[in-house]
Each structure stands twice: as structure tokens, then as C-alpha cells.
Structure 1
Amino acid sequence: MTARPNLRPTPGSIPTDPGVYRFRDEHGRVIYVGKAKNLRARLSSYFQDFAALHPRTQTMVSTAADVDWTVVGTEVEALQLEYSWIKEYDPRFNVRYRDDKSYPYLAITLDEEFPRVQVMRGSRRKGARYFGPYSHAWAIRDTVDLLLRVFPVRTCSAGVFKRARSSGRPCLLGYIDKCAAPCVGRVSPAQHRALAEDFCSFMAGETGRFIRTLEADMRAAAEEQEYERAGRIRDDVQALRTALEKQAVVLGDGTDCDVIAFAEDPLEAAAKVFYVRDGRVRGERGWVVDKVDDVSTGELVEQFLSQTYGGTESGGQGSGGAAAVIPREVLVSAPPADHAAVTAWLSERRGSAVDVRVPRRGDKRVLLETVAKNAEQTLARHKTQRAGDLTTRSKALAEIADALALEAAPLRIECYDVSNLQGRHVVASMVVFEDGLARKSEYRRFSIRGSGTGGAEQNDVAAMHEVITRRFTRYLEESQRSGELDMLGEGTEADREPGVPAAPAKFAYPPNLVVVDGGRPQVLAARRALGELGVEDVAVCGLAKRLEEVWLPDDEDPVILPRASEGLYLLQRVRDEAHRFAISYHRRKRAKALTTSALDDVPGLGPTRRAALIRHFGSVKRLAAATVAEIAEVPGIGTRTAETVHARLTGTGDTGGTGAHHSPDEGERNNGG
């Protein structure tokens, strides 16, 4: 796969001005649109070293048959033209944000003679005023039910409205005063429109004006001794206040802003937006996107702002389903790649200044952190839904089998990862996926006995060789002894978290595929360990983090799976789970070593009595504050040892050695992950 020789423009023919460029395939279809401050520098980067390009970019360049460009005056114009072309051509290689679910909106159809309040989903229609989005349709209906006491706007469908008009009898809402009944002429079209506009004003944040007006009417009615009317107005005020309470106050200064945060991994990203109006969260919305290129977070933010606000004209409602009103402030988790151009473009579209920034402190920073947590949940939910689909899992396993030239789909995959800190506290993890789903009860942890004397990569390679050797040595021993496969590492009840059942005593079968976290050195180490044991029926591959390359032991070059393929997605999930599991064990082991390190070189104090002291006092700090008599009360600790411990902790302050105790066990049972 290489770039077409006739694709590269003649040297010097590309201008150095800002502009937008388009790559086209052999059929003339636009497959990618991009913008640049300097067209010559940006386009030249595609033709310098093809092998150094990101795999997805390599695919795009090799697919393209032609490239053209348009010069513009400023970077803001380039941003606008890029958005217009992406919307017009829908290029396959550009990032595309899509809703993580169908969000409902509260809509008021102001383009009708008698405006209607209703729940709407999907693309927006012209002439309607939208509020939200909301997480659930029932939340909209609860809010509308409260507000209809004060703003009795029509909510019925066109058919119901027409029948009521013909019969001269209003619907039930008309009889209970939750509709002004314009269908039977109780109010004129102008009066009903005024109600709808007041409804919109209240939802837009002008809440104080209506509450103050109603309270003044209530007091006036009470002074005139019209207590029934005063009571009804009091209930109306309470209904408005209840509607407001359903929208959480997050900023106390009446701020209007959109708060945007991202969560991402090498293959996918999720964006979450909280819409804050008048200091209250009026709605929220989430998106997910496949990373079709090696884009930075700043580039994701820029593309998101372009697509989200691109259809908005002068601060009004956009016609597209993804468009939104541009507020005065846009708070983001990372600055856009071209901050100045994006800010100027948004300000131009809004008609007044827009501040795009990353909050560093205060309530806005706290709110951004909340949105970021929601973004992480959005990405996790998307991954769970994607992993839970049987068809998708089957497709992923088939893609892996095809890419690795396996005879059958790898129904059982084991993945190994090594974790250490500068060669100390070296541990490894083994995670198991069966039929594309995690089998957490069969996860294992390993404490590496020796990590070598070389650099970090050499230590990782030696540790990988050791853990593969230990795992399959036990497999061979047990299979020869009983004809069945024994579980690696017996584990104890204390190793298991509550709620995670014990694994069965034996594995049903060995893995079809061993995946290691790393590149070719780690893969060769795993293959060498299997070869030394005579295991030849287990396939091995590695997944390198930098470019998500799949390495095979017999190939000099990596296998490049399509960036958005289900097979690569499954391998990434397996690798990331092994990494998470190894890191959690490494942190626990390091914390344990740090906790007892102050006692490591106390004469006569072994691991058992060190553990007893820590268990009794809870921490080294509390132990140091104890008296000799209190230390001697610990079972197994005599007066002389207590004096030695007390002198060491309070006299010299020496924290002793830093070595950690390594368990001789083959492995530890999964804690549930």
C-alpha cells in the first residue's frame, strides 16, 4: 500500500496561504476535507514519508486519486469553509460525531397559528423553539404539567384540535384549566401566542419576572379579600418553583454557558455537554465518535465545536439536529487546536463575543469535572453496548482469525501485561476473554521473581518470558498428571472480592490465542517460552499501544487492522483490561511495601510480626506514636522488640530499606477487577 505517484502536486504549486483542501477518490468522490494555516506545509506532510503516516492516513492517501484546494483570506474563513464542505460531501475519512442515544427536546411550534408544546426527537424543524435536550421524555412531561397551570398552552395533536373545533367542545385539559382552549374560541390567536411566548421566556431563564408578577397578584387578591383567587395564584407560584427545583443550580451568577468534556481511548472518544442557562442545568447531551485518524484532544474539541455550532445562525436555533444555540461562554476540557480561529468564528456566528476557555478553579471547574465523569460513563456505556452485541462479537472474532491467519475464531483469548516502577515491584496480569466477553473469575496475577538487569524493555521481555513459562508449565504438569487442565494459582478466599464467585477448579481448555501487551520483542519472548515447553498449538500476537499495531512472531512488519474494525476494538479491550488489572495489582503491592518499609530493617522483626504491628495499629504513623508498653501488647511482640521498634521509629527516624516482600505463589486469583 503506497501513495499514488501522480497524486502529489508539482513542487511549488501549492500556495502558503490559509485554505481548505479536498482529497478525492478515482470516482471523484470527496473522501477527506481538511483546513490549514499553510496549505503547502500541511499537504506536503502527506507525501514526505508514507511509512511514517498513521495507518488510517495511509489508507486515505492510498485511496485518493486527486487533491485540490481553495485559498481563503483568514483562518476563520478556512474553518467556515471546512464545515460547509464536510456538511456537503460527508467525507468517509473525516471524524463524525453521533448521538450516543436519541435525546428528546421540549419544542414549541411557534410557526403555527396556535403554537403547541410537545416532545420532539430527531432533526429539528424550522419555526419551532427548542429547549433541552433532556435525558428522559418523562422529565419533559413533568415540567410541562407543572407549567400548564400558569401558561395553559395547547398540547394536543392536530387531529384532536380539529375534532374539538368541529364539535365546539374542548378536550379534558380545557375543562381542568390546563389549556386555554383556543379550539373553541376561549382565547384569541394573539392571546394564545402571548401565552406561548411567555412559556418560552420562562424556559429560557426569565423565571424571576413571572414569579414576582404572580406574587404581586397574589398579594393584591388577598388585600381585596379574594382569597380563592389568591390561593390559586399561590399554587401557581408553587408550581413554577417546583419546576425550577427540577433543574439543578450549578452556578450562582446567572451564567449562560455550555460545558463540554471528553473521554477517549486510542480508538474512540465520547463528548458530553451540559447546557447551563441562568445558572441552571437546562439539559445535557452525549456523542460518541470513532477516531479515524491519530487526532489530538484539541483537534477533537475543534471538530466538535465546528459540527455542533456550525448550523447555528446569529445565536438562533440551528436547523440541523446537532446544532445548538451559541452561549456567551463555552467551557471545554481542553483548548481547541486553533483556539483563536475557533473563538473568532463562534463570535462571528453569534453576533457577539464568545469566550472559549478551560476553567482552572472555582464552581465552573467543579462542574467541568462532573461533566467529564459523565463523558467517561458515556464512553463506558457505549463500549458495553458494543461488546454485548452477539453479532458484533462474532464479527470481531472472525476479523481477528482472518488477520492472524488462524484456522478458526479464537473463542478463548488470554492477554498478559507486565507492570513495574523502574524495575521494582514487577508484576504481571493474565485476563481471559471467552466468546468476546471477559471471564473475570479466571483472571490471574503474578509476582515476578526476577526482572533481569537490563533496561525497562529488557525487564519487560524477561518478565513476559517468565510469566508465560510459569503459566504453561502448570498447564503441562496438570494435564500430564490428570489428563485435565488445572487452574493456575489456587488463590485463597481472601484474594477474592465479595460478590465474585470462585472459579471452577480446572480450566476447560487452553487458550486459542495469547495476546501480549507490547511489540515484537515481547511477542518473541512469549513464543520462545512456548517453544521451550513444546506448546505449538497456541497462537501468539502482540498489540503495541502507539499505533495499535498487531505483531506476529514470524513477521518483520506489523499487521494493520482497519482503525474502526471490530477485531481491533476487541483486541484493544482485551489489552486495556490486562493493563488495568496489572496496574491495580502493582499499586496494591507497592502500597503494601511502602506501608511496611519503615520496619524492614528492624532486627528480629520478620514479615509476620511486621504485619501484626500494622494490623494492630493501622499505620506506621500510629505505631510511631505508641508507647513501648502499647507496642508490647501486640501478640508475638516482646518488650525488647517493642523497645527496638520504638527507638527506631522515634529516635533516628530511619525508615529502613525499601524492599518489598514477594509472594512465592505462582499466581493470585482475580479480585474481580
Structure 2
Amino acid sequence: MISSEKIARIPTAPGVYQMKGENGTILYVGKARNLRQRVRSYFGSSRDSRYQVRFLVEQVSDIECIVTDTEKEALILENTLIKQHRPKYNINLRDDKTYFSLRLDLTEKFPRLTVVRKIQKDGASYFGPYASATAARAVMKQLQRIFPLRHYPLDACKKRKRPCLFYQIGQCSGPCHGLISEEAYLALAEGVALFLSGRDRDLVKKYRQKMLEASTAEKFEEAGRYRDILKAIETTLEPQKMVTAGEDIDVVGIHRDATRLTLALLFIRGGTLTGSRSFSFNWQLDDAEAIASFLGEYYGQEVFIPASLLLPLPIPENIGLPELLAEKKGKKVDVSVPRRGLKLELVELAGKNAENAAVEHWQKQDSSANVLQELKERLHLAKLPVRIECYDISTFQGKQSVGSRVTFIDGKPFKPGYRRYRIKNDGQTDDFAMLSEVLSRRAERAAEDPLPDLLIVDGGLGQLGILTHVLTELNILDIDTAALAKSRVFAAAGDIEVSRSAERVFRPGRKNPIVLRQNSKPLLLLARIRDEAHRFAVTYHKLIRNKATLTSGLEEIPGVGHRLSTRLLQEFGSLAKVKAATVDELATILGVSLKLAQTISKHLAQGRNPQRH
């Protein structure tokens, strides 16, 4: 517990506080307008009495404060420290790679739409976000039917002798072959920007005017094109429902369930509801603080910042966030908690979305728990296999041999638990010895990397025997083990049809395998884990083999060894660039003399360059 004397010495300025455990590990990072007042709310005589807050406070042995000049600086520092230390009790979004946007740069010649992951400050316009690349491409495909922008890079299009197929079906205006003027094409691109911005009335008005101008000038083909675009726009917009008066708004909804907090974001673009996202966290502290922490994390990424942000409840120190958002957007961002009217209804709708997302989360958790319980019963395991690890070996004639480990928690992949092993005794063809090496290396690190509830190897009784032997030698006897053997194919000579055996699970102490019901959820889970371990091993093996193929080819050059060949590839980036390098460029590499550079250049020029496998 932090003493009252220590709290009294904390400054009253804005800044960031870090709660630390006994071993110095940072448990929680928070920001405050008044550091002393905020810390006292946790540890003082009038401290927060809620169980979840007391649970965190009881683990804190020290607290460190960093003073800043403004609340905005405190918010920035808080985000930096969270990303650096990843505290246990903070919201951590990591790098959310599921956001996609549509990019359109009206300053380039004949602009085109592209799907991108990140928003950059490059002068282009970005529209979204979309929940997946599939959703973004579906929107882009629909737009290209209305506005025939080019689909491919301009240089690639110009190399064609005739316009592409998209031009033939009316989904490209053929700018690469001079079939549309730059002015007319720019009008199409501006129409896309207006459409995606939700400025539908402006868009329709603009194209009606252009249709009238073209018709008056007796450019009937052009007028017909604008007429068709107008029809397509009106058809597309007809089912859309306007939510607000052409505004860009993000709406936050919240749902609390025990110690779990679910947040939902509704995206309103141009007055129309375009999508939503949900986020679920184990959160021990105040709901308002959760929202503040989430918003700092979320908008700290490269995401679209709307003109207005609607919240379900006030957040602490609600000054730094609007300032930070305004700085990133380049204009004022309104952050408010609506009390009545349409905007309050939107917040309530976001809350319902958060509640639905929470229900789906628990349903999935229940389903996963049922599968693990059934797996425990069918395989006669000592405990529920919450954490499962699976191992596989990948090799080619005993060379570039590697092992893989994948980890699943609650039936889902846990990527931080994935590991790759380079077999030290490379060149051997004994799969059992390689598996033994990998398992031994894994077991030796059990103190810092906790062992799973269930450990699986790909194979049969032989592989299970190796696994059992390694664990026995290391005196690790309290975890369940199993081997999963693939189904076997049976076919007599001349038979047209073939039959397959069921997949089999071997367990220690049993001569006969356990056969799980075909397509049952426990079997599908085991097969998924086994296949993921195989994929992970093969991917690493191919990477190692390709590198070895390149370096071994360069090593054929007199005077070039393994280290130098690796250095050449690292410095130039690829074999093709090594081949294209001049003698002087080669001679700049450490370990390459002018004479050796001439030898390398001559060898590669004569065609004795290594071949990619």
C-alpha cells in the first residue's frame, strides 16, 4: 500500500502515473489533470471501495509519476507508455489490422480507388473505415459500376495494345488510351469523392447540370453517360436511410458485464450509418476511465477522425482528447455527451450494439468451453485443456530442418505462444531425434514459459513415445499428452473408389487409438491445431531453404563464403540486385576487395549465377 506521505509528495500538476508491482512490473498506466488528486482516489482514506479497484490496488507496491505541461501531453505520454510496457490492467488494442479504407488522390493524373490499411498524410482522401478488405472491395466494385474509373496502374494500362476488359463492359472509361479527357475523368473522380462523403444532393445536382450542359452542346453521347450515372446513383441511394444531416460522427456505446467491458463504435459518414465495430476487454477500473483509455488508444492509430464524437458518459480530464484529435485532424473535433434528441438515440443504439456483442462473446465462450469439456471427457484428460500446444517437424532430406510450436488458448490461436526451432544437428534424417531435440528445448524453458494443459505431436505411437520419453527424463509428469495421426487411405489395385480411415488420437498407456466421431467439434479442433502446426513449420522451412539456395549459389563464386554471401544479400536486398550492382558498388561491402568484386561481377555476368529454388 502506498503511504499517505508519498501521496502528499506527488505534485498537483497534470501528468502520467505508473502503478508498479513488487518486482517492478508496471501494472497500470493512467493520466490525470491533477496527479495527487487522482492517486489519492485510489489510496487515500476516501479511496474507491469497489472490489475490482481494491483488487488492483492491493498488488501495487510503488507508484511513479511523470509531470507534463498540459493534459494533451499527458494523453500522448500515456499512449506511448502503454505501447512500450503493455501493462496488464490497461486496454491494449495493439495494431488492429482489420481496418480498411478506400483511398482516392484527386491530385494525381486519372485518379483511381484503392483499398488500403492505413491512413497517411499524403494529401489523398480516405473513406471508411470498413471492417474487412472484402467489405471495402465490395463498395469499390459497386462504385466502379457507377463511376468508370481505371482499375489498374496507369503505366501498366498504357503498355496494352487495346483497352482492358473493364472498358468493354463499361466499368472503365479508358483514360490510358485517350478515350476520355482529363477534365471529364476528373469529374467522375470528384463524383466518387462526393458519393463516399455522403454529399448525395450535391452529387445529383452536379451531374444533372453536366448532363444539361452536354445536351445543350449536342454532345449526346456524353449526356447519355451522365444520365446513366444519375440513374445508377439514384438506384443505389434509394435504400439508404439518412441518420443525421450530412455529418461525420463516431458514436461510442458501452456495456458492462461483471469484469468484462464491451465497447461499440458506430460510424456515421455523410449522415448515413456505414458500419460498426465492437471491442471487448477485461477491465477492472471505472467505466469512464475505460472509455478515455480506449479513445486515446484507438485514435492514436492512423484512423479517420470525424468532426464529432458522441460518448455515453463524461470522461475524466475531457480537454486533452479534443485537443489531440483537433491537432491530428487539422480542425476542431467536438466531443460531447448528448442528453436528448437524435444524438442521444444514436448513443443508445451504440449501447445496444455493445450489449449484442457482449452476448455473442459469451455464447462463443460457452461453445468453446463445451468443446474443451467434451475433448477432456473423450480423451480421458486429467484437466480441461484450456491451453494446448502442438509440435511438428519439417525437413527435406535432412537439410534445413525446422520444428514448430503453435499454441491455442480456449480453442483459439494464441500467436504470442508460437515458436520456431532451427534444428541444431542439421543434416540428420531421423525425425524422432529432431522431435526429441525440439521437445527437450521446449521443456527446458518451462520455468519462464509455462507448459500447456495438453501437449500434442503430429504422428502416431512412435512420436508419442518420444514425447513421453522426453517429459519423463525431465521429470515433467503432470501434463496430458497425445499424438494425432492423419487418416489413412485404403485402395486395392484396380479399385475405382478409395476408402479412408478415421483420424486417430493416441494416448499414453493405451495400445489402441481413440477414434473421435467424424466431423465432431473436438476432432475438428485437434485437426485445426495439427494443420496450423504443419503450416507454421513448412512456411519456416521454405524460408530457410530459399535463403540457403541463394547463399549456396553465391558461395560457388571463388572467394565468397557463407557469411559474405549472406552479407551481400542483406546489403543489396535480393540476388537480382547483387547481379545488377557495379564493381564499385560491390567493393563497398565489408569483406569485398576490388579484385573480388570484379570476380563476383564477372561470374554473375557469365550466367553462372545461382538459381532460385
TM-score range, shorter chain: 0.5 to 0.7
Are 2:252 and 1:273 equivalent residues in the alignment?
no
**Partner residue of 1:305?**
295
Correspondence list, 1:516-535, <5 A: none
**Partner residue of 2:601?**
none
- How many Å separate the matches in 1 of 2:40 and 2:355? 36
- How many Å separate the matches in 2 of 1:388 and 1:173? 46
Residues 1:152 and 1:53: Cα distance change in structure 2 (over 3 Å): same
**Partner residue of 1:482?**
none
**Partner residue of 1:331?**
310
Q: What is the deviation of 1:394? A: 4.7
Q: What is the deviation of 1:284? A: 2.1
**Partner residue of 1:77?**
73
- How many Å separate the matches in 1 of 2:234 and 2:10? 62
Match of 1:287 among 270, 273, 278: 278
Residues 1:306 and 1:246: Cα distance change in structure 2 (over 3 Å): farther
Are 2:183 and 1:209 equivalent residues in the alignment?
no
Q: What is the deviation of 1:99? A: 9.9
Residues 1:229 and 1:181: Cα distance change in structure 2 (over 3 Å): closer
Letter in 1 for 2:260: E
Match of 2:345 among 345, 361, 366: 366
Correspondence list, 1:44-83, <5 A: 44=40, 46-47=42-43, 54=51, 58=55, 62=59, 67-83=63-79
Q: Deviations over 1:607-629 (max 9, x none)?
A: xxxxxxxxxxxxxxxxxxxxxxx
Are 2:366 and 1:387 equivalent residues in the alignment?
yes
Correspondence list, 1:570-581, <5 A: none
**Radius of gyration: which is bigger?**
1
Where relative contact order (Cα < 8 A, 6+ residues apart) is larger, the structure is 1
1:32/1:94 contact within 8 Å kept: yes
Residues 1:21 and 1:194: Cα distance change in structure 2 (over 3 Å): farther
Q: What is the deviation of 1:236? A: 0.8
1:288/1:379 contact within 8 Å kept: no
- How many Å separate the matches in 2 of 1:108 and 1:364? 30
Structure 2 gap ranges (5+) = 386-409, 411-613
- How many Å separate the matches in 1 of 2:54 and 2:155? 57
Correspondence list, 1:479-498, <5 A: none
Q: Deviations over 1:118-166 (max 9, x none)?
A: 344x55566464322345766544543443355332223x6xx665433
Residues 1:54 and 1:115: Cα distance change in structure 2 (over 3 Å): farther
Are 2:201 and 1:178 equivalent residues in the alignment?
no
Letter in 2 for 1:336: I
Residues 1:48 and 1:382: Cα distance change in structure 2 (over 3 Å): same
- How many Å separate the matches in 1 of 2:215 and 2:111? 33
Question: What is the root-mean-square deviation in Å for CA atoms of aligned residues?
Answer: 4.4
- How many Å separate the matches in 2 of 1:233 and 1:110? 20
Residues 1:347 and 1:150: Cα distance change in structure 2 (over 3 Å): same
Residues 1:24 and 1:104: Cα distance change in structure 2 (over 3 Å): same
Q: Deviations over 1:383-402 (max 9, x none)?
A: 2223322588559999xxxx
Residues 1:138 and 1:91: Cα distance change in structure 2 (over 3 Å): closer
Q: What is the deviation of 1:58? A: 4.2
Secondary structure of 2:276's counterpart equals strand
2:101/2:118 contact within 8 Å kept: no
1:97/1:289 contact within 8 Å kept: no
Correspondence list, 1:164-203, <5 A: 164-184=157-177, 186=179, 195-203=188-196
Letter in 2 for 1:289: S
- How many Å separate the matches in 2 of 1:15 and 1:392? 53
1:308/1:324 contact within 8 Å kept: no
Secondary structure of 1:232's counterpart equals helix
- How many Å separate the matches in 2 of 1:396 and 1:68? 46
TM-score (norm: length of structure 2):
0.52
1:79/1:342 contact within 8 Å kept: yes
Q: What is the deviation of 1:339? A: 3.3
| Larger mean Cα displacement after TM superposition, 242-251 or 257-266 | 242-251
Aligned residues: 383
- How many Å separate the matches in 2 of 1:214 and 1:78? 49
Provide the identity percentage. 33
- How many Å separate the matches in 1 of 2:332 and 2:338? 17
Q: Deviations over 1:165-210 (max 9, x none)?
A: 3333332113334224344455688986775455224312333333
